[in-house]
Amino acid sequence: MIPLRIILVGLGARAQFWMRVVRENPQCTIVGLIDPFEDARTRALAQWPEATASGDLDLITQLDADVVLLATPPGGRERQIELACEAGLAILAEKPLADSVERAARYVAMAEYAGVPLSVGLNFRFLPVTQHTLGLFADMVGPPEFGRFTYERWRDGWKPNFNKYPLTMDQPMLWEQSIHHFDLMRFVYRSEPISVFGSTFNPSWSMYRDNANVSALIRFANGVEVNYQGLWQSNWQKPGFQWRTECQKGVVVQNDQFGDLNYALHADAELTSVSLPPYEQWINDAKSLLDAFVAAMRGTAPLPCTGRDHLNSLRMVQACIVSSRQGQAVNPADLETHAKREIGTTTQSAPQQRTSQ
Ligand SMILES: NC(=O)c1ccc[n+]([C@@H]2O[C@H](COP(=O)([O-])OP(=O)(O)OC[C@H]3O[C@@H](n4cnc5c(N)ncnc54)[C@H](O)[C@@H]3O)[C@@H](O)[C@H]2O)c1
């Protein structure tokens, strides 16, 4: 079968994983590499010498290709999406699709209008631990009723192999990291959020310009309620993670973001550990995501992680931001009403900022 020809746009940290994942998939190949920085292009060409590299996005319309894979920062993707649509290329975009719901909605509309598939790289859905959690709900502990999700990390934003734009962007934790967590909640709880009561804040030691820590109480339409705490600026170098869900017959406890899955029935004295298949972090999940995307491109499966579905996770992020600002719970479906109310407030008097810095 002829491999899908991919143009990889953005040759930074995330692209390093994609180059390996694509190389190991015989159904795909990279034909184009785009980044404004020469060093980034040189590094990428060392891995894909057969590709054409350019600093100019117009390469998207000049090459014979099938897919544009966006590994660029989420801010400023307008032209990338525009050109992909113009060239009729499918889009696989890293999360978050954009750094605002409005922009992401516009990209989804542009892709739909152009008739090009648009998927978002929500690789956490493809982690073995996530897939096995769904199995536990279905076969072992019964439907989920409430949960607690804690992610504690002191993320060194200056680490040489890390991207740098989160240091200066608005709400970096929410757009860059909580987006994965919120998407996972929607995915495993099989429901849409109806209420988000959030607070975002920045501790005194934060290296991030804007709020790097988040807490939120989230309620879903099926009744599931989640206490969420997501930190990029905890004050210990050792990370912590626990996602515990109380279900009709017992609990599911995940003690590591990438594995360590356990369950207990109500009367069990101890947790039972769930055996998970071997997994290489950042690789297997991206491989499975790419397989699902390729299957959709071949017409043998539905498109995974559609841009339109992703808007619902982005609305959770936005609802959390608005809730933190307004000091009240927000239904992600009512964001437009809240936005109008905020504009009204601004024209009448200075907005009440809830600063928790
Ligand atoms: N799914 C995941 O698990 C995961 C993990 C890490 C990063 N990401 C996502 O991947 C994306 C990229 O993150 P990163 O860590 O690679 O960032 P990065 O800053 O390391 O790399 C981004 C690259 O894009 C280039 N770029 C910027 N504007 C461009 C443009 N207009 N055209 C072409 N190239 C451009 C930059 O020069 C840089 O080389 C982000 O959306 C991020 O959230 C996802």
> For 43-83, how does the pLDDT look when each residue is reduced to its tens digit (9 = 90+)?
999 999 999 999 999 999 999 999 999 999 999 999 999 99
pLDDT, mean of residues 21-41: 98
pLDDT digits (tens, 9 = 90+) for 261-274: 999 999 999 999 99
Helix (H) or strand (E) holding 273: strand 272-273
- Judged against a pLDDT cut of 80, whether residue 357 lies above it is answered with no
| Domain boundary, last residue among 58, 88, 116 | 116
Alpha-carbon span 75 to 97, nearest angstrom: 9
Looking at residue 339, its pLDDT comes to: 76
Q: Does the Cβ of 32 fall within 6 Å of ligand 1? A: no
Range from 1-5, 49-53, 106-110, 150-154 carrying the lowest mean pLDDT: 1-5
Contact 200, 209 (CB under 8 A): no
Are 151 and 259 contained in the same domain? yes
- Judged against a pLDDT cut of 70, whether residue 354 lies above it is answered with no
Residue 10 domain-assigned?
Answer: yes
Six token digits for residue 16: 């390093």
Mutate which of 20, 33, 34, 35 for ligand 1? The one with the most ligand atoms within 8 Å of its CB, which is 35
Instruction: Give the contacts of 138 (CB within 8 A, at least 6 positions apart).
Output: none
Mutate which of 7, 38, 94, 119 for ligand 1? The one with the most ligand atoms within 8 Å of its CB, which is 94
User: How many domains does one find in the chain?
Assistant: 2
* Amino acid letter for position 41: R
Are 88 and 183 contained in the same domain? no
Helix (H) or strand (E) holding 5: strand 4-9
Alpha-carbon span 279 to 188, nearest angstrom: 20
pLDDT, mean of residues 116-144: 97
CATH number reported for the structural domain that contains residue 243 in this entry: 3.30.360.10
| Domain boundary, last residue among 208, 242, 273 | 273
Phi, psi angle pair for 304, to nearest 5°: -80, 150
Q: Does the Cβ of 37 fall within 6 Å of ligand 1? A: yes
Residue recorded with tokens 């790419």: 290
Residue 34 domain-assigned?
Answer: yes
Q: Which atom of ligand 1 is nearest to the CA of 122?
A: 1
Angle between helices 335-348 and 307-326 (to 10 degrees): 40
Ligand 1 center to 336 CA (angstroms): 29
Alpha-carbon span 171 to 149, nearest angstrom: 19
Residue 148 domain-assigned?
Answer: yes
- Judged against a pLDDT cut of 60, whether residue 355 lies above it is answered with no
Are 38 and 153 contained in the same domain? no
Six token digits for residue 146: 């409430």
CATH number reported for the structural domain that contains residue 28 in this entry: 3.40.50.720
Residue 1 banded pLDDT, cuts 50, 70, 90 = confident
Q: Which atom of ligand 1 is nearest to the CA of 37?
A: 37
Contact 98, 107 (CB under 8 A): yes
Secondary structure of residue 237 in the 3-state scheme: coil
Contact 316, 110 (CB under 8 A): no
Q: Which atom of ligand 1 is nearest to the CA of 96?
A: 41
Looking at residue 352, its pLDDT comes to: 43
Residue 346 banded pLDDT, cuts 50, 70, 90 = low
Alpha-carbon span 48 to 222, nearest angstrom: 47
Residue 186 domain-assigned?
Answer: yes
Rounded to 10 degrees, the C-alpha dihedral 204/209/212/215 comes to 80
| Domain membership of residue 209 as a residue range | 125-273
Are 28 and 49 contained in the same domain? yes
Q: Does the Cβ of 34 fall within 6 Å of ligand 1? A: yes
Contact 164, 314 (CB under 8 A): no
Alpha-carbon span 117 to 1, nearest angstrom: 20
Mutate which of 163, 232, 258, 293 for ligand 1? The one with the most ligand atoms within 8 Å of its CB, which is 163
Q: 3-state SS of the chain: helix, strand, coil percent to 5?
A: 40, 25, 35
Contact 127, 208 (CB under 8 A): no
Contact 127, 285 (CB under 8 A): yes
Q: Does the Cβ of 227 fall within 6 Å of ligand 1? A: no
Residue 282 domain-assigned?
Answer: no
Nearest CA to ligand 1 atom 19: 163
More confident residue, 346 or 129: 129
Ligand 1 center to 71 CA (angstroms): 4
Residue 40 domain-assigned?
Answer: yes
Residue 145 domain-assigned?
Answer: yes
Looking at residue 350, its pLDDT comes to: 45
- Judged against a pLDDT cut of 90, whether residue 344 lies above it is answered with no
pTM for this predicted structure: 0.94
28-34 and 52-54 strand pairing? parallel
pLDDT digits (tens, 9 = 90+) for 322-340: 999 999 999 999 998 887 7
Residue recorded with tokens 């199995």: 135
Question: What does the DSSP 8-state code read for residue 125?
Answer: G
Alpha-carbon span 311 to 100, nearest angstrom: 10
Are 185 and 80 contained in the same domain? no
Looking at residue 345, its pLDDT comes to: 67
